[in-house]
Every structure is written in structure tokens, then in C-alpha cells.
Amino acid sequence: MKSERPKSKRGAARNAPKRRDSSGSDKPSFKKNSTKNSGRGDDKEFGNKKFVYKKKPKKLAEKPVDDKIRLNRFLANAGICSRREADKLIETGVVSINNKVVTELGTKVSPNDVVHYGGMLLQSQKKQYVLLNKPKNYITTMDDPEERQTVMELVSKACNERIYPVGRLDRATSGLLLFTNDGEMTKRLTHPSGKVKKIYHVTVDKNITQKDLIALVEGIQLEDGPAGADKAFYLADTSKSTISIELHSGRNRIIRRMMEHLGYKVTKLDRVQFAGLTKKDIPRGRFRHLSEKEVGLMHRVCGLIPQDNE
């Protein structure tokens, strides 16, 4: 019996499986381990392993922290006024920094500076935003000489900062009332050009006709000029003596005067929405702080940029 002789490399090549190349000829199929370049100078493949070479990121030079703020912003943060009004105060020479009167706009204040306005020491306060569901028989004022109940009694424990009501609701009106120490926001929300949306539920002494509902929207001539609602409609599941009125006017007792002009007496007036904020989850006579998201909403409504992005 003949023993099999080992095949030479040349014989193995002859017996290797053949493949066709692009020209149609048969060639043995051999694969060589080659270094492949992926197209990037720092990525290479060796066999089945891929090695990635990365450059170490350069360390960015740390920028010095500027903890100074403009004087007009400092005055607004202290609840004195808006920034624009603060510029006027600065120019009149009623503001001093470290006992030196400052009249130059753009002056900055550092945390260690001592600022006086009209002889009063000022401190930059944390911004607070408090939403109250006001009950009837409370007056919207900081202090009442007749010692009647004021809305400030209802929010006295809301925060340590001194906050102020944004606009007002008369004594017989209930509903949403915003408080803040943000002077710039207060100005934007109360100025007629802001056109802040407010929604009221109004109940009168008799059913309101369709004709008068239309008249509320088309406009009514009052003693101090024309007035009208943006929207007015009957509320579902109520009698026609209760309607919803949406308007942006901030004139004194505007809804009561419009209804009186049409021959109705308002028996109940409740503000249910103010600048997108609602009474949800706020019992009558209670308050809550605005969430960060709601504060951002208020800044957008006012056309302001949140402080963190300034």
C-alpha cells in the first residue's frame, strides 16, 4: 500500500477553489491580511481589530467670573422700579454706590458694594412670584388707613422678600392676583401696551340677551371712552345670567361699568385666568408659588428674557 505523499504548496494552489474576477477568468481565492485605512488618519484596522487614535482635548482656559450687574438691573431686582425707569433715577443723581453719587448709565455693582436710593439702603432680592386666589372683601393695597382686610395679609407668609400686587382687583371681586418683587415684569403686565389676557366669569341679576352679548364684543361707549371685550359667551351648564368675558383692558371697574351700561347689575365677578395662569389647585384665600416653567411663561408673555440667559 502506497503511503500518501504530502502535497506541495504549488499543488495546494492548483487544487484551491477558484473564483471569477471581473474579466471572467478563474483565479484561486486567496485573502491576504492587509492594513485597511478607513479614510480617517486616526482609524486603522489590523485583522479583525480596530484601533482608534484620539487626540487629547485641549484644556479651555477658564474665564474669570464676572459677578457684577448693571445698576439699573440692581434697582429693578430691589423692587424699586423697572430698568428703564431706573435709568432715569440714576441720571437724576438719587442713587449712590459706596456713598458716591452715580449718574453714569451702564455703571456696574459688585456684591460688596453698598447702594443707597434716596438715603435708603437697597439690597438685591431673590425674585419671588406668588399667585393668590383672592376672596371677596379684601382690598388690593399695601396698607389701608381704615384697617380693613388687605390682600397682603393673605400672602404675608409667602416669602421673606417684600412683594407687591400686579394690578388690582376691587374689594367685591374674587380670583387670581399675582404678587412679585420683579419690577420690570410688573410694569410689562400692567401697561396697556402689554395687552395681557384676562378671563372673568360674570354673574348678573338677570339673563343676558344675545344682543347684549354681541354688544359687549362690538364695543360700548362709556364716559371715559369706548370699551369692549375680546370674547364674550355663555358658560355651559349655567343659566344665561352667567357669562365668560375675555379682555386685555386694565381700566378701573371696566366689566362692572360695561354691564351697568347695558342695564345689568353684577352680583359676582371672578377672575379665573391671568396671563395664562389659572386657579387650578388653589383654594379660595390660598396662594402658591409659580413653578420655574410658569415663570418662563410669564417672561415670554412680557417679552422679557429670563435672568439666567441675560
**Catalytic positions, written as ranges:** 170
Of 215, 293, 207, nearest in space to 242 by CA: 207
DSSP string, 223-290: TTEEE--SEEEEPTTS-TTEEEEEE----TTHHHHHHHHTT--EEEEEEEEETTEE-TT--TT-EEEP
**Is the CB of residue 230 less than 8 Å from the CB of residue 197?**
yes
DSSP string, 136-168: TT-B-SS--TT---BHHHHTTTS-SS--EESS-
DSSP string, 199-227: EEEEEESSPPPHHHHHHHHH-EEETTEEE
Q: Which three cell numbers stand for residue 166?
A: 400686579
* Dist CA 174 CA 285 (whole Å): 9
**Is the CB of residue 26 less than 8 Å from the CB of residue 18?**
yes
